[in-house]
């Protein structure tokens, strides 16, 4: 399977599994990712999603040899996945988390280079842990292509504007250490510490009230870039329903009772 899914309690681990092609997104992978994101969004038992690659590369982006001919009409769709993408090319944007929101925290384990669509998928995540020396960037401009997976919007929001513009317009890459310094990554750790570090973070999040986690994440994303007064008003739209939940009553009771809370997501 080119997309592997494991469940560890309330944590889902998604693996891009096409190491021989640097996990470049084939039609099968695109459709598989979209199906996986939807499945995890709709699974109430899943509270945190972790995504990584197999082998020495996180994701080299779209497999242009397979996807580009489908989009241009130069290739006749053969497989069911080919036909799905030919009929709806927005599936590619959903796969890299541009046009799809899992509605739950997504942690990226960047086990190697994250280039083009791979970098754009990382931009769609919330928390990022990477190995030393991984190359990160969007190089589409070098080939007269637009990085349309959200990069011209998200990169200037997620790292200093001037650096984001340099990377967008030159097509250069930066190392994970540089990305950490720019605030684009949370941690850079040795390869053997990648999964433990990501799971440590995921377990902390999964132990919290799931409704509160989803609402806080949704508010932070929705309010990003809005004027202060408008953002604060929108924050309350996300916040107030949380106070009416069973979990919001359980949390303070557990605190006062000096016990671990038992959250039920309702």
Whether 120 is a known active-site residue: answer: yes
pLDDT tens-digit series, residues 158-177: 999 999 999 999 999 999 99
Neighbours of 7 (CB within 10 A): 12
pTM of the complete model: 0.95
Whether 192 is a known active-site residue: answer: no
Q: Which of 52-56, 76-80, 93-97, 123-127 has the lowest mean pLDDT?
A: 76-80
126-147 as b/e: b if 16+ CB within 10 A: bbbbbbeebbbbbbbbeeeeeb
What are the residues facing 128 on neighbouring strands?
108
Q: Which of 28, 66, 81, 140 is catalytic?
A: 140
pLDDT at 187 over 80: yes
Q: Which of 66, 120, 166, 177 is catalytic?
A: 120
Distance CA 235, CA 248 (A): 17
């Amino acid at each position: 399977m080119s997309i592997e899914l494991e469940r560890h309690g309330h944590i889902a681990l998604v693996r891009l599994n096409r190491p021989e092609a640097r996990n470049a997104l084939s039609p099968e992978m695109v459709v598989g990712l979209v199906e996986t994101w939807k499945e995890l969004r709709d699974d109430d038992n899943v509270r945190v999603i972790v995504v990584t690659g197999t082998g020495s590369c996180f994701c080299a982006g779209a497999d242009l040899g397979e996807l580009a001919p489908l989009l241009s009409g130069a290739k006749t769709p053969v497989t069911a996945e080919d036909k799905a993408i030919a009929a709806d090319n927005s599936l590619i944007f959903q796969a890299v988390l541009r046009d799809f929101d899992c509605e739950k925290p997504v942690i990226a384990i960047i086990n190697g280079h994250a280039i083009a669509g791979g970098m754009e998928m990382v931009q769609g995540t919330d928390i990022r842990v990477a190995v030393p020396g991984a190359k990160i960037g969007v190089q589409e401009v070098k080939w007269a292509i637009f990085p349309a997976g959200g990069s011209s919007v998200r990169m200037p929001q997620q790292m200093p504007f001037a650096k984001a513009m340099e990377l967008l317009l030159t097509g250069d890459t930066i190392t994970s250490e540089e990305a950490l310094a720019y605030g684009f990554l949370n941690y850079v750790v040795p390869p053997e510490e990648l999964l433990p570090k990501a799971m440590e973070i995921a377990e902390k999040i999964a132990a919290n009230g799931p409704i509160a986690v989803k609402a806080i994440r949704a508010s932070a994303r929705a309010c990003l870039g809005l004027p202060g007064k408008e953002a604060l008003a929108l924050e309350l739209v996300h916040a107030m329903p949380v106070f009416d939940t069973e979990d919001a009553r359980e949390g303070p009771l557990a605190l006062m009772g000096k016990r671990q809370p038992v959250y039920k997501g309702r």
